Amino acid sequence: MRRALLAAVLLLGVSPHVASAAPRGAPDRIGLARAADHRDRPGALSDRWTVRLLDPRSQGWLEITVAREFQERSVLVFGYDRAGEGVYQRFTVTQVAATSRTLDARGPDGGVAIRAGGRRIALTGPLASGKLRLRRARRGPAASGWRLGEGFGPHPARFRPVTLSWSMPIATSTTRGALQLPDGRRFRIDGWRASYEHGWGDILLGDGAWDYWNQAVVRDRRGGAWIAYGLNRVDTVTGDGARDAQWLGVLARVRGRGARVCRPRVIRRGWQYTFPGIARWSTRASFRCDGLRLKVRIPIPSIVTEYLTHTEFRDRIPGRTGLAFNLAHDHG
């Protein structure tokens, strides 16, 4: 990790939108998260469960991710504490299993146990330990059936359809708990705002079939949230403006009385890129559909994490209780 100076409407009970109204490859169903969405998908190439925590009173934020990609399984605890000191703990696990209400990830260096559909979280082991409770949780959006073209492997000389589904069992909640790190730091996470999501499919982070992956989660003062989530299918980005016109995703507004979910039109501006590998991401984005509108702005600096397969851009959204998270591939 390095710090770089780079710079909805579906009401519960209404029939889901269908893909005929959306660009090619868009999710064929959108709506609200279901308990069954939390289960692992052992037949898929990847599963990823992520808790995102954000302190509204400081610059602190954390991500706790349990990931399975093909045969690799891991846990990542990443972000900043309230004092602005970095947190980065990653360890391998040998077992990952999830039902509609539970998740268990275990290995020699530690584990994660999630209960009550994300409302109780326990980390154990020498690299990160602690217990969290998510209170006043509100259900978030879901989308299934992205079809993003073809990817190569992981089996030799074999192409496969690249697919994705995603669900947010908890769009917004308030946390109580603490985290202990091996350097002796122990900090409370009381009052932090949290979300919890699960993504799965025959998709790998190194697949060239997708690019320009965007996600934003913004909380309001009354306990509600805005969520935007989506990406591009590369083979439909064929000319000027196609990158935005062919963006495939959802926008959601979650409040106490329920949630609205729709397929937005996106406009992204202020594009930046890494060097020497050229991975592009936007510093401004606007999502709009069916009377909902979310604007996200991430000026410099941003946090850039470079991997062999892709590059990740994430940071807090200035002036708002929110996080933006983008992924892209190098084109250099």
Task: Give dist(CA 98, CA 114) in Å, integer.
Answer: 9
Query: pLDDT below 70 — which residues of the chain?
Result: 1-21, 157, 300-302, 332
Task: Give dist(CA 306, CA 315) in Å, integer.
Answer: 15
Residue 9: predicted pLDDT: 30
Nearest Cα residue to 83 out of 54, 61, 63, 60: 60
Task: Give dist(CA 216, CA 212) in Å, integer.
Answer: 13
Handedness of CA 9, 138, 295, 329 (dihedral sign): negative
Residue 240: predicted pLDDT: 84
Residue 72: predicted pLDDT: 95
Phi and psi, residue 325, nearest 5°: -140, 115
Token pair 């122990």 in the structure block, residue: 186
Nearest Cα residue to 191 out of 136, 140, 228, 141: 136
Residue 157: predicted pLDDT: 66
Domain boundaries, the chain: 2-328
**Residues 6 or more apart whose Cβ sits within 8 Å of residue 57:** 82, 191
Q: What residue type is 146 in one-letter code?
A: W
Give the CA distances from residue 265 to residues 229, 268, 272, in Å, rounded to whole numbers and listed in that order. Answer: 12, 10, 21
Task: Give dist(CA 79, CA 270) in Å, integer.
Answer: 25
